[in-house]
Amino acid sequence: MMTNIIISGVGGQGVVTAGLLLSEAATIKGIHVVMSEIHGLAQRGGSVSVDVRMGDVYGSIIGKGEADLIIGFEPIETMRAISRAGRNTFVIMNSEKITPISLSMNDKEYPSNAELIGLADKSVTIREINAVSLAKKAGNYRAVNTVIIGAALALKVLPFDKAEVLAALNNKFSGKIYDINREALDLGIEQIQLNQTA
Amino acid sequence: MIEMSELKQLLINEPGKKLFLLGNEAIARGAIEAGVRVATTYPGTPSSEVGNVLSELAKQAGIYFQFSVNEKVAIEVAYSSAISGLRSFVFMKHVGLNVAADPLMSISYTGVRAGLVVMSADDPSMFSSQNEQDNRNYAELAHIPLIEPSNSQEAKDFLKYAFEISEMEHIPVLFRTTTRVSHQRGMVELGEIAKKEEAGFFKSDPKNFVALPVNSMGLKEGLIKKMERLKTVSDNSRINRIESYGSGKYGIITSGEAYNVLMDTVSKYGLDVSILKLGFTNPLPENMVTTFLKEHENVIVVEELDPFLETRVRMIAQMHSTGTKIFGKIDGYFTFSHEYNPDTVAGSLSRIMGFNVEQVPVEIDSSMLPPRPPVLCPGCPHRATYYAVKRAVKMSNIKDPIYSSDIGCYSLGVYDPYDEADVMIDMGSSIGVGGGFSNATGQKVISFIGDSTFFHSGIPGLINAVHNEANVVLIVLDNRTTAMTGQQPNPGMNINGMGDAAPEVSIEAIVKAIGIQYVKVVDPYDLKSTLLAVSGALRNEGVSVIVARRECAMIRDERMRSKKEWKTYQVDPEKCKLCMNCVEKFSCPAIFIEGGKIRIDQNICDGCGVCAEPYVCPPKAIEEVQTA
């Protein structure tokens, strides 16, 4: 058994932190985890992606078609990761855009999310979520991470449950910040459940 | 990086406890367990986190730690400690070892007294490097042992083993990781923390430690004998092992990260193989390899970058007439370039072993996705400097300027719209190369160098330019830290690697001391004075230096947030004339176009306010956001 998760986004969005939270939850459940981080070059603004692999795995790199779950922190970066999706890959896409300067510099606008999603094979189901507004609703913009992890939990592809995520959050945060993150987790879960029943 | 408070866990002396560690964090723990007393480095990705951890924990761990001015000095400091009886560890990125290669080639001759391990973090696929050289070749060149771990657990355990080997033959040991080992995070079981020597003592022995020809003659022979003896050690080493899957029809020899990728392929396709997994790769375990070759009709060598193992395996096969068919890079089955991934390894193995590779089910036309290369951060002072320099060059009517750049975040000035890097090869090269251009051409030369890089190896190039009467404008981009690798201190700061107060070395005092007359220190956020200073330098003959000094935006952000002095800017659509200067020429990542209007992303803007200056926004349409 293995679960392969790709988290992609823009430097500065907390992509590595999300990988750490998922890894910690799996570890609490007693599952073997390997995670790959690429550091270096500019600190903010470039494409960043983290591979998290859980279960019977050796290396930290997920091959083409091998991702079980893609978590995109940003629409263009979500689509960039989709080249590693397979037919059964679940995708969560945060709808909040960050315009790359390659567009603005050439007086171009960011494509619509519908145009971007249209690039992907029809067999891939992409669930959009506005994690920024939900994080703000929970009480802090920086809880975007936790909202997205909540959304991933609701898809039931992760090899652990809410209890392990809460334990991981509890190891990291305390007091009010923990409460905000617990709320953010619930908002993420609810959002996906709403979409699924709709 | 794990949080600072969590970093303390690396000091726990509870053998058997497990932590989820980055390879580099595991290496730092390995140094602590090994009883390392002195550790030195010059920061370079993918090795940087080892230093970040040791910098934080050195005092509590009883280690003397320093961020040295460059890798050559780092290895010299570690060496002198090791010959004074203290276990010493020096680490750097692969290209750093080029800088340290001069001393390395001689200290292999003299040898050491206490253990000395030299770590090279190689970067296959060049995630943050100018090349992807395979530094295993240095072990061969210097005649020293080579150890290669595959994951975080091995990174820690093998480092301790490397110290044992070093002390067994009193020889420096090369410890080679790659990006995916240094930056892989996995579970690590802690071991016992060893006791350390308190203070070193150096007992003089010039015959052994003075590398004059008369001494080196004998030392070389001694070195070769050491490596001869280590062949037996490698043959019996616990870090070389055989694993069998199925009947083991094909034999595979591998090491490092290639082992991980190989194993994922073996389990995915259920391949029938025996694997000789090597951790001790120089000298190779010759008997072990010979037996393995004799036991298999077909042997495949799976390794990243150079055919380092393959060449030696082929040699052993020839010397022992094993008659084995060997597959690898030399015959074209595997590539010499870039790191391996499950797709490339499965592809190569399938051609040799004849199985079908699964087709990728979902393809996307990624040419439709706009690129997002690394960029200078919002608020980065270098953006303002590059903007001012470009304008000053234009205003001065300079045709065909040559921009000579250097290693650091500011290398990103190569991208549109700045285009201010025509050449960039190695640390400190901007000024050396700049001086060369001024000899060879009549063009105006503008060199860029960061503060840390200036100290690292820029100074000799600058002295050379002065003495040889070059005509160069040197812009020192002084952001008060070694930013690219994660804000490590450098000699221009008043703090050292252990967090203690330290004498600050003045860049402008050095520049003046070597006889440069035109020296200006400017704040790049102040575009007007930066423009004036650069224009003046462009008119000046000889070497002129501008120190563009403004702290790294990430440090400034942290300070502003803690003081709750956060502010951001926005565009007043009434005043904006859509001249596009801010998006096309200044190009901060926070500025974008939406619905035909220019906007500033409030989540990204860090409030530097440079875009609001009339030199960027003539109609003054960019203003501070007023929060009621």
* Neighbouring C-alpha atoms within 13 Å toward the C-beta of B45: 24
pLDDT at site A197: 64
CA B117/CA B159 separation, integer angstroms: 8
Distances (CA, A) of B93 to A49, B43, B90: 22, 8, 11
- In the sheet with B518-522, reading across from the earlier edge strand, the strands are B402-404, B445-450, B472-478, B543-549, B518-522
B240 inside 8 A of chain A by CB: no
- Residue A186 Cα, gap to closest chain B Cα (Å): 23
φ, ψ (nearest 5 deg) of residue B395: -65, -30
Buried b (16+ CB within 10 A) or exposed e, A7-46: bbbbbbbbbbbbbbbbbbbbbbbebebbbbbbbbbbbbbb
pLDDT at site B245: 96
- Give me the residue label for tokens 């690219």: B484
pLDDT averaged per 10 residues, chain B (length 628): 70 95 97 98 97 97 97 97 97 98 98 98 95 98 98 98 98 98 96 91 95 96 98 98 95 98 96 98 98 98 98 98 98 97 96 90 80 91 98 97 96 94 96 95 97 98 97 98 94 97 98 98 98 98 98 93 91 96 95 95 93 97 88
CA B616/CA B590 separation, integer angstroms: 14
Instruction: Please say if the pLDDT value at position A198 is more than 60.
Output: no
- Residue B253 Cα, gap to closest chain A Cα (Å): 17
Instruction: Report A:17-46 residues touching B (Cβ under 8 A).
Output: 20, 23-24, 27, 32-46
pLDDT at site A195: 73
Q: Phi-psi category of A179—alpha, beta or left, where left has phi over 0 and alpha has psi -120 to 50? A: alpha
B592 inside 8 A of chain A by CB: yes
Q: What predicted TM-score, i.e. pTM, was given to this entire model?
A: 0.95
pLDDT at site A39: 63
C-beta separation of A141 from A104 below 8 A: no
Yes or no, beta carbons of B368 and A119 under 8 Å apart: yes
Residue B590 corresponds to which tokens in the numbers above? 């926070």
Residue B131 corresponds to which tokens in the numbers above? 């090349």
What residues in B contact A62, CB-CB < 8 Å? 342
Nearest-Cα residue of chain A relative to residue B584:
A105
- Best residue in B362, B387, B488, B597 for a mutation probing chain A (most A CBs within 10 Å): B362
What residues in B contact A140, CB-CB < 8 Å? none
Q: Evaluate the CA torsion angle B35, B41, B46, B49 in order and state its sign.
A: positive
Instruction: Please say if the pLDDT value at position A40 is more than 60.
Output: no
For the segment A111-153, what is each residue's pLDDT rounded down to a tens digit? 999 999 988 887 788 999 999 999 999 999 889 999 999 999 9
* Neighbouring C-alpha atoms within 13 Å toward the C-beta of B218: 8
Average pLDDT value for residue range A41-63: 89
Ranges of H-type helices in chain A: 15-28, 75-81, 101-104, 113-118, 131-138, 144-154, 162-172, 175-197
Q: Is the ipTM of this complex over 0.95?
A: no
What residues in A contact B551, CB-CB < 8 Å? none
Residue B262 corresponds to which tokens in the numbers above? 């190989």
pLDDT at site A125: 85
pLDDT at site B309: 98
- Give me the residue label for tokens 């952000």: B557
- Residue B284 Cα, gap to closest chain A Cα (Å): 24
Q: What residue type is assigned to position B424 of the chain?
A: M
- Residue B114 Cα, gap to closest chain A Cα (Å): 33
- Among A11, A46, A61, whose Cβ lies nearest the Cβ of B341? A61
C-beta separation of B313 from B289 below 8 A: yes
- Residue A198 Cα, gap to closest chain B Cα (Å): 27
Local structure of B336: helix, strand or coil? coil
Between A and B, how many residue pairs show a Cβ–Cβ distance under 8 A? 213
CA B13/CA B493 separation, integer angstroms: 34
Local structure of B369: helix, strand or coil? coil
pLDDT at site B358: 83
- Give me the residue label for tokens 């052994």: B208
pLDDT at site A122: 78
pLDDT at site B1: 42
pLDDT at site B628: 56
Instruction: Report A:91-130 residues touching B (Cβ under 8 A).
Output: 96, 98-110, 116, 119-121, 123-124
